[in-house]
């Protein structure tokens, strides 16, 4: 039974709602324009701690690296001096001696000497997650005020290039001692970099201020803020609203839309990362090289680049990243050829091949889409790829099982070189990298490969080394433990008045010293 009250409306709640709407409507927030001496860069992940030697999470490296400074840089694959003015080798290449630039000041006013450099490198070797990049180094010492010696047991050709790695930054040892504790220093690091620490709010932002006495010249932008925006769509919205000036890690389809926005410029720098389809060579069906090669013939990699990435992910033609020293595409004979694939499978005796394709869903840009297309393309030649999407943590454990226990057949991962040198990329296929100790999800073993790899590591002559690396790529593309798929697209976008971003973005999506970036 219902009863209706009088026709008069309830005034109070309705009035409140109306008042609220009017208030909202009357409110005009000022446009959140950034003052133009402040550059705001959005980060897709959180900075766990502002200390470079303790950093984890690749996108955060470039941010915390601004406070430190590297010994050398490699803007175009060429090693150029930075904190190290020059270098030399002694003892048959077993010692690399850096001459440190004189008069370099740190943010606390002290002068950077060889002692700071040696201490910083050793701190990196002790606590950084990237320490294995200097695993061959046996000793780092300051010979005098401006010379640092890095020693290895055998000459290691990629050693110099390794020092351009973002994580190996130099801090001020005096500041460290003055801080009182390791933790105190980590929360407020001091170094010779172009920007000095101002503020860090976990989960939100890292704010840095220009260091006027930076040795290469005062930075052009006074303040840089790294702002954490985890959600991709929110990042793009923030850029369009003018709340942030630079973003990266967004889908190619957003790039299309942003390109038509006059206030925004899309940047597509070369990428050192690429995606591989790894195949477990230690058990059937991928213990047969013909089956592995059939996969490469059956997958139309060009189509994947076009359809999913709108052309921003060029096909990889080698298991060494494009743009690194000695990269060559000559051995990628695997043009899209489904007939050839079927032939090879028939030869190998597995025409109705069925296997599992595993991946850590969501880890890499559009990985689910890629895996779906691969499955469809393989289905066209009668091969059944059962997709297994796993959470990243679970997946990374899954592909690190010892060979006898490993269940994986085919899986998808990213790979890279940490500098312009292919050694760190190609080393993953050596026996030393066999899981669970190492990172090789293909369980590949080859005597010829081991021999060539060891030789290139100690070869001092660049041309001879280039030949060895070429041979290595030949072996890999013939044995094909993994199919090189495409270069991981590197998509950045900046407000149109920001100048110079293309020069500071590294192929690994980290950032070089930002002192050359300016806002018009």
Partner 1 sequence: MWRYAVQKLVLAVPTVLAVVAFVFVAIRLVPGDPAVIMAGDFADAATLDRLRREWGLDRPLPVQFGVFVSNLVRGDLGDSIRSRQPVVRELASRLGVTFTLALGSIAVTLLIGLVAGIASAVRPYTVVDYASTVVSLLGVSMPIFWSGLILIIVFALRLDWFPTGGIGTWRHYVLPCLSLGVFSAGVVARQTRSAMLESLATDFVRTARSKGLPPHRVVLKHAFKASLIPIITITGLQFGRMLAGAILTETVFSLPGLGSYLVTAIAQRDYPVIQGIVMVMALSFTLVNLVTDLLYPLVNPQVSQ
**351/59 Cα distance (integer angstroms):** 43
Report whether 220 contacts 212 (CB < 8 A): no
Tell me which residue of 316, 300, 282 sits closest to 378, measured CA to CA.
Answer: 300
Question: Residue 398: how many CB atoms within 10 A of its CB?
Answer: 17
**509/249 Cα distance (integer angstroms):** 9
Site string for partner 1, 68-107 (x = CB under 8 A): ----------------------------------------
Taking the complex as a whole, the smallest distance from the CB of residue 27 to partner 1 amounts, in Å, to 6
> Which of positions 230-289 make contact with partner 1 (CB under 8 A)?
230-231, 233-234, 237-238, 240-241, 243
**122/120 Cα distance (integer angstroms):** 5
Taking the complex as a whole, the smallest distance from the CB of residue 130 to partner 1 amounts, in Å, to 5
Site string for partner 1, 294-333 (x = CB under 8 A): ----------------------------------------
Q: Which is nearer to partner 1, 124 or 327 (CB)?
A: 124
Q: Which is nearer to partner 1, 34 or 110 (CB)?
A: 34
- 39, 52, 53, 54: which one contacts partner 1 (CB under 8 A)? 54
Q: Which is nearer to partner 1, 53 or 107 (CB)?
A: 53
Burial class (CB in 10 A: 0-12, 13-18, 19+), 94: middle
Site string for partner 1, 129-168 (x = CB under 8 A): xxxxx-x---------------------------------
Taking the complex as a whole, the smallest distance from the CB of residue 213 to partner 1 amounts, in Å, to 31
Taking the complex as a whole, the smallest distance from the CB of residue 65 to partner 1 amounts, in Å, to 17
Tell me which residue of 165, 161, 188, 237 sits closest to 423, measured CA to CA.
Answer: 161
> Which of positions 1-30 make contact with partner 1 (CB under 8 A)?
1-6, 8, 10-14, 16-17, 20, 24, 27-29
Count of positions on this chain that bind partner 1 (CB under 8 A): 65
46 near partner 1, rule: CB under 8 A:
yes
- 64, 160, 161, 229: which one contacts partner 1 (CB under 8 A)? 229
> Which of positions 183-202 make contact with partner 1 (CB under 8 A)?
183, 186, 201-202
**109/389 Cα distance (integer angstroms):** 53
- 436, 454, 464, 496: which one contacts partner 1 (CB under 8 A)? 436
> Which of positions 110-129 make contact with partner 1 (CB under 8 A)?
129
Q: Which is nearer to partner 1, 86 or 407 (CB)?
A: 407
Indicate the SS3 state at residue 222. Answer: coil
Indicate the SS3 state at residue 44. Answer: coil
Report whether 173 contacts 120 (CB < 8 A): yes
Q: In what order do the strands lie in the sheet with 147-152?
A: 84-90, 95-100, 147-152, 137-144
Q: Which is nearer to partner 1, 379 or 437 (CB)?
A: 437
Burial pattern 95-123, b for ≥16 Cβ within 10 A else e, equals bbbbebbeebbbbeebebbbbbbbbbbeb
- 89, 336, 364, 398: which one contacts partner 1 (CB under 8 A)? 398
Taking the complex as a whole, the smallest distance from the CB of residue 356 to partner 1 amounts, in Å, to 16
**197/208 Cα distance (integer angstroms):** 5
Our CA angle for 467, 470, 472, nearest 5°, is: 115
Q: Which is nearer to partner 1, 199 or 397 (CB)?
A: 397
The token pair that represents 291 in the structure block: 């089956």
The token pair that represents 16 in the structure block: 């409140």
Find the Cα–Cα–Cα–Cα dihedral 285, 290, 295, 299, rounded to 10°: -170
The token pair that represents 426 in the structure block: 């190609």
Indicate the SS3 state at residue 104. Answer: coil
Q: Which residues of the shown chain bind partner 1 in the complex (CB under 8 A)?
A: 1-6, 8, 10-14, 16-17, 20, 24, 27-29, 31-32, 46, 48-49, 54, 56, 58, 129-133, 135, 183, 186, 201-204, 227-231, 233-234, 237-238, 240-241, 243, 391-394, 396-398, 400, 415-416, 436-439
């Amino acid at each position: 039974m219902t009863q209706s009250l009088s026709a008069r409306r309830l005034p109070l709640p309705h009035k409140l709602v109306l008042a609220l709407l009017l208030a909202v409507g009357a409110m005009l927030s000022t446009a959140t324009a950034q003052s133009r001496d402040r550059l705001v860069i959005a980060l897709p992940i959180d900075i766990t701690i502002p200390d470079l030697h303790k950093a984890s999470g690749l996108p955060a490296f470039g941010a915390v690296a601004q406070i430190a400074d590297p010994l050398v840089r490699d803007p175009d694959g060429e090693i150029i001096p930075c904190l190290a003015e020059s270098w030399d080798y002694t003892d048959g290449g077993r010692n690399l001696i850096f001459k440190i630039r004189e008069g370099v000041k740190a943010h606390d006013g002290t002068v950077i000497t060889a002692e700071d450099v040696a201490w910083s490198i050793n701190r990196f070797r002790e606590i950084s997650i990237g320490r294995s990049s200097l695993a061959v180094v046996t000793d780092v010492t300051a010979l005098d005020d401006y010379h640092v010696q890095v020693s290895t047991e055998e000459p290691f050709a990629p050693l110099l290039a390794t020092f351009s790695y973002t994580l190996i930054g130099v801090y001020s040892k005096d500041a460290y001692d003055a801080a009182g504790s390791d933790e105190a220093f980590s929360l407020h690091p001091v170094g010779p970099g172009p920007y000095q620490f101002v503020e860090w709010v976990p989960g939100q932002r890292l704010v840095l201020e220009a260091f006027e006495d930076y040795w290469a010249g005062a930075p052009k932008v006074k303040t840089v803020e790294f702002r954490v925006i985890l959600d991709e769509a929110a990042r793009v919205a923030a850029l369009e609203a003018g709340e942030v000036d630079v973003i990266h890690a967004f889908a190619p389809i957003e790039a299309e839309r942003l390109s038509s926005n006059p206030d925004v410029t899309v940047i597509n720098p070369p990428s050192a990362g690429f995606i591989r389809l790894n195949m477990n060579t230690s058990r059937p069906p991928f213990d047969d090289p013909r089956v592995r090669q059939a996969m490469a013939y059956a997958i139309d990699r060009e189509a994947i680049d076009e359809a999913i990435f709108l052309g921003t992910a060029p096909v990889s033609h080698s298991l060494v990243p494009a743009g690194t020293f000695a990269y060559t595409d000559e051995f990628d004979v695997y043009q899209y050829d489904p007939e050839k694939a079927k032939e090879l499978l028939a030869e190998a005796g597995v025409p109705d091949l069925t296997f599992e394709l595993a991946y850590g869903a969501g880890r890499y840009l559009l990985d689910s889409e890629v895996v779906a297309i691969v499955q469809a393309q393989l289905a066209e030649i009668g091969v059944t790829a059962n997709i297994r999407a796993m959470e990243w943590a679970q997946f990374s454990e899954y592909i690190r099982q010892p060979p006898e226990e490993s269940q994986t057949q085919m899986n998808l991962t990213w790979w890279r070189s940490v500098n312009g040198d292919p050694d760190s990329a190609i080393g993953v296929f050596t026996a030393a990298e066999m899981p669970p100790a190492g990172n090789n999800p293909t369980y590949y073993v080859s005597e010829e490969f081991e021999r060539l790899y060891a030789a290139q590591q100690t070869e001092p002559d660049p041309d001879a080394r280039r030949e060895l690396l070429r041979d290595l790529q030949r072996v890999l593309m013939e044995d094909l433990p993994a199919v090189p798929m495409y270069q991981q697209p590197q998509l950045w976008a900046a407000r149109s008045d920001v100048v110079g971003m293309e020069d500071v973005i590294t192929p690994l999506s980290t950032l070089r010293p930002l002192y050359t970036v300016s806002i018009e």
